[in-house]
Amino acid sequence: MARVTVMGGGVFGLAVAYECARRGASVQVIERDRIGAGASGGIVGALAPHVPAPWNDKKAFQLDSLVMAGAFWAEAARLSGVDPGHARIGRVQPLADARAVAAARERADAARAHWPEWARWTVTDAPGWAAVSPTGLFAHDTLSARLHPRRSLMALAGALRALGGAVIEGGAAPRDGAVVWATGADGLAALSAGRDRAVGAAVKGQALLLDFDARAAPQLYADGLHIVPHADGTTAIGSTSERDFDDPAATDVQLDAVHARAVAACPGLAGAPVLERWAGLRPRARSRAPMLGRLPEGDYVANGGFKIGFGMAPKVATVMAELILEGRDAIPTGFRFEDNL
């Protein structure tokens, strides 16, 4: 039986561990703090595709992952008994002017060329929100989904335990077998140490959670913000992207500005009570794609999820399990450690 140790209890680490266990490996996850202590413990949970034009390998990889997500999360829920909150609710985006409308229609053609038949990109005047659009029109895709970040981590951890794996929190433990480093922003810093330039860096994000029930609506992407209605009757809004910061865990006036922008985009949010303000560090690899594969020292890495980690997790788990357990390397160019040097 193959043995695998995953260092880090965020979405990449747990997803890789779970997939390896599903394929028969003996797996342990070692998390020095607690599950979801880093960026994966956030609140937004937007699983949204990149625009379908121009097409590239990164978008193809993400598409595969978003298509796989339904079955991936349903099986984790079945094994763990924890609902990860996954639902393919779609997404709408206000179109600011005639040029944006024309671009959206071109993207509809690209979606027909590259996406599955059931995944559509259209232009609509019925967004499902009382949202502001200067043209009265919105781009609507049916591929986007939502996920409850914290519940999804509990689902993966529970599914791993159900398959005989171990999740060790709050300390160290002996490593056994193949070692996978999925340690987020701290891991990127460690991999950068002693090199001529950093392979990646932490980017702070701030988000907030409102007591606003829009569970029947699609996601709304407006003014650079993801507004995500969750099944529990809350709505998440995020986020900032800060390369310079003093306190990685503090929220401040930048989050107040995010809140104001969200209300301007969707006035119905005004007055909704704020349930939580969250801040954390997201790992961004230099290539801006996930960093996957084998390290020069012989261990493995799964890092750099940045803003798209949850959306990428099913496919990341698959290609990493294939590499570790079967020696089959299906990692695209641009996703490898050496692509970030």
**Residue 202 maps to a domain:** no
| Interatomic CA distance for residues 141 and 92, integer angstroms | 7
pTM, full prediction: 0.97
The number of residues making up the chain comes to 341
**Residue 56 maps to a domain:** yes
**Residue 188 maps to a domain:** yes
Q: Average pLDDT in the 171-178 region?
A: 92
Cis amide leading into 239 (omega within 30): yes
Of 104, 91, 90, 93, residue with least CA distance to 134: 93
Residue 3: the pLDDT is 98
Distance of CA 25 to the CA centre of its chain: 25
Which tens digit of pLDDT belongs to each residue from 138-154? 999 999 999 999 999 99
Q: CATH number for the domain including 310?
A: 3.50.50.60
Domain interval for residue 309 = 3-87+144-197+286-340
Where does the pLDDT of residue 30 fall: very low under 50, low under 70, confident under 90, or very high at 90 and above? very high
Tokens of 302: 């799964």
**Residue 273 maps to a domain:** no
